[in-house]
């Protein structure tokens, strides 16, 4: 039965709980560190959470709870309250010694005017942090502030002999990008005239997205953007440690700023990022990176550009995947151990195996209906050669492993066919070649900072390792019509390669779209129109 509270207790609890009479409720109006401390105590108490909140927090005179949460308003007083909450948190959690406690509270962090290069380092934290980044697909980056385009004038670069050349090349890339917006808008409107069933809003948005897609590859990696992050304390702490240990001054400066702000809202969760233990971890990460660099040079020598391979290469996969998946499917429905099941599956005929796979996949009505965890058994490793714009979009997938090489101009530039058809190729090529020449000079002395001048359309190399279940999600989502044509090709190719080696397992990927479209965003914008119309009718 649900615990009963007096009317006075209910009046108090209703300020901090969404209800007082159900087994399921949410916490409200509490600092994150208090929530973390409360849940931590919850794990070692026989009391209900609401009773614990009352007895050990709200009504406990030693907790100082009224100053922490009861009377605090937003602004400076709230920050003072959080500081008191940190002291309270430390007292409550003496003896816990469990890093997972820091996963019980979180924060929203806004990072503005950071480079596209830094956003990838920030977003490398796959678990515990959810990022949302300003899109190069829907926003033009042609605006100036104070007479200057929005790109990072990185400290080390601006103190080097290459400072004026760096500014000149970045300005050239932005000038080229900006000058091509008007003619390409006109060309795309002429190629794709509006039809009667499309609103002006949807049509203009689709044309705009198309032109953004065509031009984004010209922007350098130094282009400033905004990213919003929500994460738990433990994930933020590790993110800060990695950024502190980065060879890029921008990353280190961002770590200091982010640490200062997170310390105002979740101080207890991030305090170790730069203390004695945090500095030891930073040194460990940096020293390992340096030693591996030396080992790579010793083993491989000077690295020259390698011949272009297919954009997507299947490097490795589990050749016994079918039997392993079927055994995993059957496992919850039997009392055999896995080894016995594998032996029994090996004796089955092809038709029986296909029947089991079909039953497990079922009749999928849409891409969100995905097979279960048995499809997490087989793994696939793909080597990708594609432009940085593709990587930026695919990098956000969390349930897989991705590792990239440094950005460079060594593998060429993906010139959009629309630019070639419009006769604008020479103008773009001149800007890209200027970036290439400067990159070659910079990379000899500053390989990490040299990345800032690399246009997003330059090819890079990375690998992806994912299981079959993630491949269903990845291929079906990233091949959707409204996706960028460049990354749609990668998703389509990954699907083809999995289908070629495991046709029975990939047969259920019904929602991979292999078609090409003129205005990729149009159908999505028409759906937005319908939703807007429905909202207007309410």
- Per-residue pLDDT tens digits for 254-299: 999 999 998 887 888 898 999 999 999 999 999 999 999 999 989 9
In the prediction, which pLDDT does 259 show?
Answer: 93
In the prediction, which pLDDT does 87 show?
Answer: 64
Q: Are 192 and 85 in contact (CB under 8 A)?
A: no
Q: What is the reported pTM?
A: 0.86
Pick one of 3.30.70.20, 1.25.40.20, 3.30.1360.170, 1.10.260.40 as the CATH number of 312-405+459-526.
Answer: 3.30.1360.170
Contacts of 526 (CB under 8 A, 6+ apart): 197, 198, 199, 202
Tens-place pLDDT, residues 442-489: 999 999 999 999 999 999 999 999 999 999 999 999 999 988 999 999
Residue 46 in this model has a pLDDT that exceeds 50: yes
In the prediction, which pLDDT does 85 show?
Answer: 61
Residue 192 in this model has a pLDDT that exceeds 80: yes
Q: Sheet holding 106-115: strands in order across?
A: 106-115, 224-232, 129-133
Assigned token pair, 326: 């079927």
Longest dimension (CA), the chain: 78
In the prediction, which pLDDT does 137 show?
Answer: 81
| 84 band by pLDDT with thresholds 50, 70 and 90 | low
Q: Do domains 108-303+412-453 and 312-405+459-526 have the same CATH topology?
A: yes
Nearest in space to 382 (alpha carbons), one of 507, 470, 498, 512? 498
Residue 404, phi-psi category: left (phi > 0), alpha (psi -120 to 50), beta (remainder): beta
- Mean pLDDT for 501-522 is 90
Residue-by-residue DSSP string for 375-407: GGS-EEEEEEEEEHHHHHHHTT--SSEEEEPPP
The domain spans of the chain are 7-97, 108-303+412-453, 312-405+459-526
Q: Per mean pLDDT, which range of 61-65, 89-93, 130-134, 328-332 is the poorest?
A: 89-93
CA distances in angstroms from 60 to 26, 52, 78, 367, listed in the order given = 22, 10, 20, 51
| 207 band by pLDDT with thresholds 50, 70 and 90 | very high
In the prediction, which pLDDT does 114 show?
Answer: 93
Q: Which residue is associated with the tokens 């279960």?
A: 372
- Mean pLDDT for 168-181 is 98
Residue 305 in this model has a pLDDT that exceeds 80: no
**Spatial distance between the Cα atoms of 204 and 138, rounded to a whole number of angstroms:** 11
End-to-end CA separation in angstroms for the chain: 40
Q: Which residue is associated with the tokens 């997490």?
A: 376
Architecture of domain 108-303+412-453: 2-Layer Sandwich (3.30)
In the prediction, which pLDDT does 68 show?
Answer: 65
In the prediction, which pLDDT does 91 show?
Answer: 61
- Mean pLDDT for 157-179 is 97
| 86 band by pLDDT with thresholds 50, 70 and 90 | low
The angle at the Cα of 21, spanning 20 to 26, to the nearest 5 degrees, equals 50
| 523 band by pLDDT with thresholds 50, 70 and 90 | confident
In the prediction, which pLDDT does 178 show?
Answer: 97
**Spatial distance between the Cα atoms of 384 and 311, rounded to a whole number of angstroms:** 6
In the prediction, which pLDDT does 447 show?
Answer: 95
Residue 301, phi-psi category: left (phi > 0), alpha (psi -120 to 50), beta (remainder): left
The H or E element that residue 99 is part of is none
Pairing mode of beta strands 148-149, 224-232:
unpaired
| 1 band by pLDDT with thresholds 50, 70 and 90 | low
404, burial (CB in 10 Å: exposed 0-12, middle 13-18, buried 19+): middle
**Spatial distance between the Cα atoms of 479 and 516, rounded to a whole number of angstroms:** 10
| 535 band by pLDDT with thresholds 50, 70 and 90 | low
Average confidence score pLDDT of the chain: 89
CA distances in angstroms from 182 to 58, 161, 189, 223, 388, listed in the order given = 62, 35, 11, 20, 24
| 92 band by pLDDT with thresholds 50, 70 and 90 | low
For the chain, the C-alpha Rg in angstroms (whole number) is 27
Residue-by-residue DSSP string for 139-157: S----EETTEESB---HHH
In the prediction, which pLDDT does 3 show?
Answer: 82
The H or E element that residue 435 is part of is helix 425-445
**Spatial distance between the Cα atoms of 378 and 506, rounded to a whole number of angstroms:** 11
In the prediction, which pLDDT does 83 show?
Answer: 61
Assigned token pair, 529: 């129109």
User: E strands within 169-272?
Assistant: 224-232
Contacts of 355 (CB under 8 A, 6+ apart): none
DSSP-derived letter for residue 385 is E
The H or E element that residue 4 is part of is none
Q: Per mean pLDDT, which range of 62-71, 290-299, 340-349, 362-371 is the poorest?
A: 62-71
Q: Per mean pLDDT, which range of 5-14, 18-27, 228-237, 390-399 is the poorest?
A: 18-27
Nearest in space to 510 (alpha carbons), one of 369, 314, 312? 369
């Amino acid at each position: 039965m649900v615990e009963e509270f007096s009317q006075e207790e209910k009046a108090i609890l209703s300020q901090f709980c969404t209800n007082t009479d159900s087994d399921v409720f949410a916490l409200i109006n509490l600092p994150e560190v208090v929530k973390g401390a409360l849940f931590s105590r919850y794990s070692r108490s026989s009391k209900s959470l609401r009773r614990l909140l009352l007895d050990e927090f709200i009504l406990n005179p030693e907790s100082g709870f009224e100053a922490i949460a009861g009377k605090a308003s937003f602004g400076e007083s709230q920050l003072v309250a959080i500081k008191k909450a940190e002291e309270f948190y430390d007292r409550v959690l003496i003896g816990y010694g469990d890093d997972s406690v820091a996963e019980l509270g979180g924060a929203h962090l806004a990072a503005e005017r950071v480079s596209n290069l830094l956003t990838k380092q920030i977003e490398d934290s796959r678990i515990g942090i959810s990022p949302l980044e300003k899109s190069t697909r829907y926003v033009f980056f042609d605006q100036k502030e104070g007479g200057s385009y929005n790109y990072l004038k990185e400290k080390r670069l601006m103190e080097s002999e290459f400072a004026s050349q760096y500014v000149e090349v970045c300005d050239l890339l932005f000038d080229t990008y900006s000058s091509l917006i008007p003619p390409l808008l006109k060309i795309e409107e002429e190629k794709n005239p509006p039809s009667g069933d499309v609103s002006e809003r949807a049509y203009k948005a689709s044309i705009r997205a198309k032109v953004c897609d065509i031009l984004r590859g010209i922007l350098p990696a130094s282009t400033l953007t905004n990213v919003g992050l929500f994460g738990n304390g433990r994930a933020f702490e590790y993110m800060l440690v990695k950024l502190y240990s980065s060879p890029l001054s921008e990353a280190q400066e961002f770590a200091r700023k982010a640490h200062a702000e997170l310390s105002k809202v979740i101080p207890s969760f991030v305090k170790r990022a730069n203390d004695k233990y945090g500095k030891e971890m930073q040194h460990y990460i940096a020293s390992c990176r340096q030693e591996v660099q030396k080992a790579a040079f010793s083993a491989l020598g000077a690295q020259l550009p390698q011949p272009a391979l297919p954009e997507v290469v299947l490097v490795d996969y589990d050749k016994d995947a079918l039997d392993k998946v079927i055994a995993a499917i059957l496992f919850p429905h039997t009392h055999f151990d896995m080894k016995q099941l594998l032996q029994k599956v090996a004796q089955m005929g092809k038709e029986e195996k296909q029947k089991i796979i079909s039953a497990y996949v079922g009749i999928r009505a849409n891409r969100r209906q995905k097979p279960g965890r048995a499809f997490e058994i087989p793994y696939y490793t793909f080597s990708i050669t594609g432009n940085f714009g593709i990587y930026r979009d695919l990098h956000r997938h969390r349930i897989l492993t991705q590792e990239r090489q440094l950005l460079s101009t060594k593998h060429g530039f993906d010139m959009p066919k629309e630019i070639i058809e419009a006769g604008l190729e020479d103008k773009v090529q001149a800007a890209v070649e200027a970036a290439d020449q400067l990159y070659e000079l910079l990379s000899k002395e500053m390989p990490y900072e040299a990345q800032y001048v690399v246009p997003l359309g330059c090819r890079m190399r990375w690998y992806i390792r994912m299981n079959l279940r993630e491949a269903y999600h990845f291929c079906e989502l990233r091949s959707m019509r409204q996706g960028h044509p460049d990354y749609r090709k990668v998703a389509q190719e990954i699907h083809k390669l999995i289908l070629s080696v495991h046709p029975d397992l990939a047969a259920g990927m019904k929602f991979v779209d292999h078609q090409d479209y003129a205005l990729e965003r149009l159908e999505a914008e028409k759906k937005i129109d319908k939703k807007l119309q429905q909202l207007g009718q309410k």
